[in-house]
Structure 1
Amino acid sequence: MFEAILTVCLMGAEPVCRDRLVPGYAAASEAGCRAALAETPPDLAGLAEGVDASGPVCRAAGEALEVAEVAPGVFAHLGRVAEPDAANRGDVSNLGFIIGGAGVAVIDTGSAPWMGEALWRAIRARTDLPVTHVILTHMHPDHVFGAGVLMERGARVWGHAGLVRALADRQANYLESLRALVGEAEFVGVQVPGVTDPVAERAEIDLGGRVLDLRAWPVAHTGNDLTVLDRESGTLFSGDLVFDRHTPALDGSLRGWRAVLEEMQAMAVARVIPGHGGPSLEWPRGAHPLARYLKVLERDTRAAIDEGARLSEAVETVAQSEAGAWQLFDAYNPRNATVAYTELEWE
């Protein structure tokens, strides 16, 4: 297979460039790709300010994300349980897509444009149906910055009603951090997703005989968590409301998260695709480690507050009994203890 590629560069004293997929021109031969470009040239007017481009040209198809079919028509990509860096290129969260009778819905798009492009190729290898919907489960950068290629092809973007403001407040810091960790070239021409369809409580998406239930939750992991339930297979994409192996990351409310997780555990679903780990968990058993961790985090934080421990002291002791059960514990548990202490000390 061949596809159209555009080389985009951030212009400066030393230009920083990357090759960017131009979707919709894949063909079995290079000649077929060129013919498609000649017949319908791509609109390049949407390039970010300060970004220059050359091409497009036709090349052999690039990498596709590895995905597993966890249920008929439901696919999940397992991100690494790691911090984003140049070696993993930011591939540190789970993504997925669901194929209906008339279109495809993508759930989360990864840290960087290349991930959305690689996900596009994985979808095209399995169906020619259009990608009609992109669903973002929350604001964190490892879930949102690959959306550009999918938006370019006309996908509507769904998210919690609070996502737009939360992402707007943080996107500059998120991108600055990712550029430092992963490399500036991976983010040339990155597009920050705009939510076309905000969900305040619940919504439905019909993919053509296949209905998805979207639910916006109260403040928990973050203030803008959204889940996606495929009715047909009973598969729930939880976003980061569920972690597996990866130490949970608290960026909302500890008490809220515990309450939401308890309600989720009562849901009659066949399997859960967590935001990290898995990629497919039996339910509700798959929630037990997270529920235990959050319980210990609250118990130990309350004990530290009752004993008069300062925040700087509490972060050294809270939830240390959980250290052996999770990866990246030293990176995330002190942050969780800080958020929990700040929340609970003012009760």
Structure 2
Amino acid sequence: MFEAVLTLCLGAAGAADAPANGGPPPCRDLLLPGYEAPTEAGCTAALRAAPPDRAAMAGGTPDCRPVGDALAVEEIAEGVFVHAGLVAEPDRDNRGDVANLGFVIGARQVAVIDTGSAAWMGEALWRAIRQRTDKPVTHVILTHMHPDHVFGASVLEVAGAASVAHAGLTRALADRQGNYLESLARLIGPVALLGTEPPQVVLAVEDAAEIDLGGRRLHLRAWPLAHTGTDLTVFDSATGTLFAGDLLFDRHTPALDGSVRGWLAVLDRLQREAGGEILRVVPGHGATALPWPDGAAPLRRYLDTLARDTRSAIAAGLRLSDAVPRIAASEADRWELFDAYNPRNATVAFTELEWE
């Protein structure tokens, strides 16, 4: 198989990124989705028949190459595939591959759930889909605003998919995307970030929505302030699979960017309102799938501990700086990346709960 690619270099994207020694700038081959063909000639003919606008915008000329690397995915239920990101902080070695992503194949269409930290991940996810089906990818569903879940979406949008998200995501991401992209460029390197653009949400979910992929429906639910203010879950009723995004963590220390009380309330509502229908849940980080509700027990224990210890520190009159090292310290040996995330969580929880 062959695919169309466009070579984009840092010198072309911004002179500030050009090598100081005057050597050739580092480059990356960007996938132009939708031109795949069994032969190079077929791919080239497709490019000639419908030249991509993206190539003109980037100032380059696309050509056809053998298909590049695809993301590794696991089929966790019939037609439901998940890529397990590393339990790690984004860096130049992993290029931001630190979150779980997935897709669901229906009788007529495909929906993607989360897209990774950069365009290269959307490209590799597209290849994984194309290895399994030639059905159109019609929807990209973003479970929340965090950069490790949203910045591969534009690749799939170019291929014709409509991005779907919580009604609050567009504004929340607009307020943060500059800082997110700057941070990612520093962490994973500017070359890995080449071609990355913010998603353009066209379907904003206020409360609930459904997507019919043909023979299977995805049920989308927007939640109140919890992990973030933009959390959205995706339930595939055909297999009983819930994509929870970062409303569920496995192994990776949970990251609180919203409300600890709200997060616990959402977990309660999920178990109360849909507990009997959910057979498995895909966390935003960690295992590809966990049983429900047992898979949520470690997260609930952590959040309960976080809230309890925070209230105790406030009641004891501790200052924030003195309270943070003590809050949820008993959980340290049960999670990875604890020192990177628990102090932030303690700070958020203290700020929230001191006004109860």
TM-score normalized with structure 1 length: 0.97
Match of 1:30 in 2: 40
Gaps of 5+ in 1: none
Q: Secondary structure at the match of 2:324?
A: helix
- In 2: Cα distance, 1:59 partner to 1:53 partner: 19
Aligned to 2:323: 314
* Partners of 2:55 and 2:62 within 8 A in 1: no
Structure 1 segments of 4 or more deviating over 6 A? none
Q: Is 2:42 the partner of 1:42? A: no
Partner of 1:133: 139
CA apart distance, 1:16:
4.9
Mapped partners of 2:61, 2:218: distance in 1: 38
What's 1:173 paired with? 179
Call closer, same or farther: CA 1:77–1:211 in 2, change over 3 Å.
same
Hey, what's the Cα distance between the residues in 2 that align with 1:210 and 1:33?
Answer: 32
Q: Tell me the distance in 2 between the aligned counterparts of 1:285 and 1:308.
A: 36
8 Å contact from structure 2 (residues 210, 217) kept in 1: yes
One-letter identity of the residue aligned with 2:315: D
Partner of 1:247: 253
What stretches of structure 2 of length at least 5 have no aligned partner? 19-24
1:1-347 map, 5 Å: 1-9=1-9, 10-12=13-15, 14=18, 15-44=25-54, 47=57, 52-266=58-272, 267-268=275-276, 269-347=278-356
Task: Quote the Cα distance in structure 2 between the aligned partners of 1:58 and 1:157.
Answer: 27
The RMSD of aligned alpha carbons is 1.2
Which string of whole-angstrom CA distances, capped at 9 and with x for unpartnered residues, describes residues 59-78 of structure 1? 11111000000000000000
- 1:238-282 deviation line (CA, Å, top 9, x unaligned): 000000000000000010001111122332201000000111000
**Deviation of the 1:188 alpha carbon:** 2.1
Q: Secondary structure at the match of 1:196?
A: strand
Query: How much does 1:46 deviate?
Result: 7.4
Aligned residues: 343
**3-state SS in 1 of match to 2:65:** strand
1-side partners of 2:321 and 2:347: how far apart?
8
Q: Distance in 1 between matches of 2:208 and 2:14?
A: 43
The alpha-carbon deviation at position 45 of structure 1 amounts to: 6.7
1:284-340: CA deviations, max 9, x gaps?
000000000000000100011111111011111110100010000000000000000
**2:96 and 2:188 in contact (8 A); partners too:** yes
Structure 2 contact 55–61 (Cα < 8 Å) conserved: no
Question: Which whole-Å CA distance do the structure 1 matches of 2:50 and 2:317 have between them?
Answer: 69
**Is the Cα contact below 8 Å between 2:6 and 2:55 reproduced in 1?**
no
